[in-house]
Amino acid sequence: MVHRCCNKQKVKRGLWSPEEDDKLLRHITAHGHGTWSSVPKLAGQSLLLSLLNAGLQRCGKSCRLRWINYLRPDLKRGSFTAQEERAIIDIHRILGNRWSQIAKHLPGRTDNEIKNFWNSCIKKKLIEQGLDPNTHNLLHSSHGHHKLTGNSSSSSKSNSGSIFPVFQIDNALARELKVPVVALPSVVPSYDHASSVAPLPPMQTAYDYHDHSFTDMEQHPSAPILNPLVNSLVTGESCNWNMEGEVSMSAKHDGNDHQLKQHVGDPNNNGAVHSIDVPMEGGPGFDFAQYVDLLQLPWGMLSNLSDPIDQLTWG
């Protein structure tokens, strides 16, 4: 039987054996994949042990899929973290089922993996919460027994019908998604100076800002999202995250003393090429805008956000 996609007579299907994986891995490691359609033949020829056979009995598409979803060295193994799950939900709200686009924002994860996770896990969770997994809006009341809690009412102004507000995205992501940059929420807090306990922002998103347990900037999945930084400056909590794998920033808070460190990654230098430490006086009177130039924030991501920046100014 001729395989439809490549017209090969003898094409093996089904699960890959360790031997097949080995052939493919060695070939691509040594020569790159070139054109995928030629990989099956060349992968066999590149191994002494396989001189007697005709190479991989697989079609090029199958080789490509196996490499991308399983053999690639930069893949992250293991379960999705809570941060990754939230990031997927947030990005899916904007992108929908564009799994490959979503995967670009989750380093080490494949579109297939994210798609499976969505279909087997996240989808059900959203439905249980009374949310339509396609639109992220509330399902009709006849459908579920969900309940609205907390500050959900304040969120409805930006995303009518959803218990989650539209999350905030930077300019670069906005360009990529071809959507306008969403104005940051009003985060003028009633700061309790006496107790030194920073209030929660009036607008909470699906992203749990207060889970800052992650410490590895390179691993944080919500790279494109500006909110954690903004929120950390408002609440006085710590925040580390990574942007596009090239720009990492952190905000450390110690009382009202804040530091923001910027690392600009250099893909040719495998890391930061420079960093700056910026002391920041947070709390009432803190003006985020004055730090924008100093921080040399990437992509001019705040340049069109004058209103939100104003909203970040206390006092």
Partner DNA sequence: AAAACTATCAACCGCCCGCTG
Partner DNA sequence: TCAGCGGGCGGTTGATAGTTT
Judged by the rule CB under 7 A, the positions of this chain that interact with DNA are 3-6, 12-16, 34-37, 58, 60-62, 64-66, 69-70, 79, 97-101, 111-113, 115-117, 119-121, 124
Beta-ladder partners of 253: 258
> In angstroms, what is the minimal distance from the CB of 60 to DNA?
4
Closest to DNA by CB, 16 vs 209, is: 16
Closest to DNA by CB, 70 vs 314, is: 70
> In angstroms, what is the minimal distance from the CB of 125 to DNA?
10
Token digits for 180? Answer: 């306008």
Angle ∠(230,231,236) on CA atoms, nearest 5: 110
Q: How many residues does the chain have?
A: 315
Closest by alpha carbon to 164, among 153, 175, 172, 174?
153
> In angstroms, what is the minimal distance from the CB of 66 to DNA?
5
Alpha helices for 129-188 (secondary structure H): 152-155, 171-177
> In angstroms, what is the minimal distance from the CB of 55 to DNA?
15
Closest to DNA by CB, 102 vs 217, is: 102
**Collapsed DSSP state (helix, strand, coil) of residue 66:** helix
* CB-based burial label for 188 (10 Å; 0-12, 13-18, 19+): middle
> In angstroms, what is the minimal distance from the CB of 33 to DNA?
7
Closest to DNA by CB, 111 vs 237, is: 111
CA dist 234 and 284 (Å) reads 9
Closest to DNA by CB, 62 vs 262, is: 62
Closest to DNA by CB, 90 vs 113, is: 113
Closest by alpha carbon to 28, among 19, 39, 37, 14?
39
The 3-state secondary structure of 211-237 reads CCCCCCHHHCCCCCECHHHHHHHHHCC
Kindly give, in sequence order, each residue whose CB lies less than 8 Å from that of residue 70, ignoring residues fewer than 6 positions away.
16, 21
**Collapsed DSSP state (helix, strand, coil) of residue 165:** coil
Closest to DNA by CB, 3 vs 261, is: 3
**First-to-last C-alpha distance (Å) of the chain:** 75
Closest by alpha carbon to 39, among 65, 18, 19?
65
> In angstroms, what is the minimal distance from the CB of 123 to DNA?
9
> In angstroms, what is the minimal distance from the CB of 8 to DNA?
10
Closest to DNA by CB, 119 vs 215, is: 119
> In angstroms, what is the minimal distance from the CB of 85 to DNA?
12
CA dist 148 and 50 (Å) reads 62
